[in-house]
Structure 1
């Protein structure tokens, strides 16, 4: 675990934002100070640790316990809720090697096949709002994992409460007069809760690039909230040195928040959507035995997206004579289609046991 250094900065240079005053203060000045601290960090780095974010620790503990119960099921049990074919619907269970994360956006299927030659060694389960007809949930039978649907649905909406607080703070920090401005585009029904498990893998296979965990990429949406265990392995591109990645050291109870592509477009690039990846953990005690196997890693990202038909166009507070508009308007739905095109194959390969 990394300690917090001077000026609220960890050894990895990712700022730490204490959200307590935003959540509890009745002073507009104090809330504005938190909002400006948050957006300043998002301008410089694009990633922040949020402490005192509002989610109780016992709820987070239960979420990780639920994830472990899920991934401890047999492959056959998990495949009772399979991820649908193709990239259009992102729900249910994805076995190791099914999803391929990349920054490639041109949609060339031959390039997609080349990218898939290095498989991503991870498995995941995606949950969304029951009121999103474009992304219908795929649930395990209740008898397979009792209480799973009930808990993940509850956790999804508890995460959305925190997400909406962060969006209000971002709106004020950006300079918008209305703290509800971004909320108008984010009902919560187009978000995505992801339970992630990185099984143990030989360090040599990662070092030789025979397999990957999560290659470098940016997120597509507005913001991402990430909760991670103590294993480590998440890295963020250094804002001062392109191509250099620094560890996002796990901090107990903290939420790692980052800006996504569409909020960067909304802000005319004043907020950074930063590349990040998951690779070998930096500490030797996270690699075990003569085979140098990594420890299993669990993480829970919550992707916050605008509603599908939301038009993302430059915010008035983010453009002037010196900063002309950089992007054409785009809907969330159109942009996500471009980014998702090669993420999942249109016809699933034969699945292998996890």
Structure 2
């Protein structure tokens, strides 16, 4: 069992009835898993994965020159292997469900074995430091001018489908995204010894939820991504099916807040590929992925909407702006949470 791969073409080209049926199906998958996969939506990650390979082969000094500043602000630029600690952002509650971690009661020694480059559109108030054109020709133009724009359009189409599937007015979520502050990340997971993984302190990425409305995730053929199996416990491997348009879609914390928990975020992690699961030794091959984090406008209220607050489901989350929620979550990654947010959590 794994996440289904749903043909998305009817949402853009089908009749109103076909669009509605597809929206209902997609939203149903989000209710079950917090995630699904889409194909036939018009985007492939092939060129971007090739650029990612070139980027991570740049000399260390060039990557360090455009390093992300590890604070609570939106991430921009290069982050070294081990910079993030996704183990610090979610933990299990007494019911065994993953929740946003509101304290420091987590293992502080767990390491993420990945490096990444984060960016947003040119002109954003949190600017992106880019590598020079001479170092990687065409990188900036493709990543910001073409691929980011295509991914932002797809993310808004998916959110429109969710609006239809939840039977809320179209624009309920997408009208909160007019400033286009989405972020895109290319990630590299270097080769890793299976013995290191089995020691328990290192994962390619620990169980966590993402912070925005939704995440679009393109991955290469390596494997290792898993999504929490809510129905049976354990994890569902998300094994690539070989379709060049395959993209995973994951519900993030912002949509959980807006729907007062009616939709739950997708808990996911990255471990050994299925082919290496039972091995005691060996080397996991390197892995590349691309993630688009679709974000609400920074000053938009992402507190629960009134239609999701009832006597049976009272308000579960505070009224925060999207930037406050983002800063809180990024701060957890880097032990840089703004004190005001920690006090009000």
Cα distance, 1:170–1:188 mapped onto 2, change above 3 Å: farther
TM-superposed deviation, 1:41: 0.9
Report deviation, 1:65.
0.6
* 3-state SS in 2 of match to 1:312: coil
Corresponding position: 1:44 with 2:35 = no
SS at match of 1:236: strand
Contact 2:272/2:284, CA 8 A, preserved across alignment: yes
Q: What is the CA–CA distance in structure 2 between the aligned matches of 1:323 and 1:155, rounded to whole Å?
A: 40
C-alpha displacement of 1:321: 4.6
Match of 2:110 in 1: 118
**Alpha carbons of structure 1 residues 126 and 320: separation in structure 2 relative to 1, 3 Å:** same
1:264-308 residue CA offsets vs partner (Å, 9 max, x unmatched): 121121212021101111114998xx9500010001011111011
- The match for 1:79 is 64
Give matches, 1:152-171, under 5 Å: 152-153=143-144, 154-171=146-163
Relative to the length of structure 1, the TM-score reads 0.85
CA deviations over 1:205-244 (Å, ceiling 9, x no partner):
00112422100001111100000001001011111144x1
Identify the residue that residue 280 of structure 1 maps to in structure 2.
272
> Could you tell me how far apart the structure 2 residues matched to 1:35 and 1:151 are?
30
Aligned counterpart, 2:95: none
Corresponding residue of 1:209: 200
1:101 and 2:53 are equivalent in the alignment: no
From the superposition, tell whether residues 49 and 286 of structure 1 become closer, same or farther in structure 2 (CA, over 3 Å): farther
* TM-score, structure 2 normalization: 0.87
Among 275, 290, 305, the alignment partner of 1:300 is 290
Shift of 1:139: 0.9
Could you say which residue in structure 1 is the equivalent of 2:73?
Answer: 88
Query: In structure 2, which of residues 15, 31, 42 is the aligned counterpart of residue 54 of structure 1?
Result: 42
Mapped contact 1:160–1:188 kept (Cα < 8 A): no
Equivalent residue in structure 2 for 1:20, among 9, 34, 57: 9
Matches within 5 A, 1:185-334: 185-187=176-178, 189-242=180-233, 244-252=234-242, 253=244, 254-284=246-276, 292-334=282-324
Does the CA-based 8 Å contact 2:116-2:185 persist in structure 1?
yes
Is the CA contact 2:74–2:327 (under 8 Å) kept in the aligned structure 1?
no
SS state at 1:342 partner: helix
Contact 1:225 1:255 in 2 (8 A): yes
> Deviation string for 1:21-80 (max 9, x for gaps)?
10101x22211111111111111111101111221x3xx211111001111222122222
Q: Deviations over 1:175-231 (max 9, x none)?
A: 113x22211101262211000000001011001124221000011111000000010
The answer on whether the counterparts of 2:276 and 2:284 sit within 8 Å (CA) in structure 1 is: no
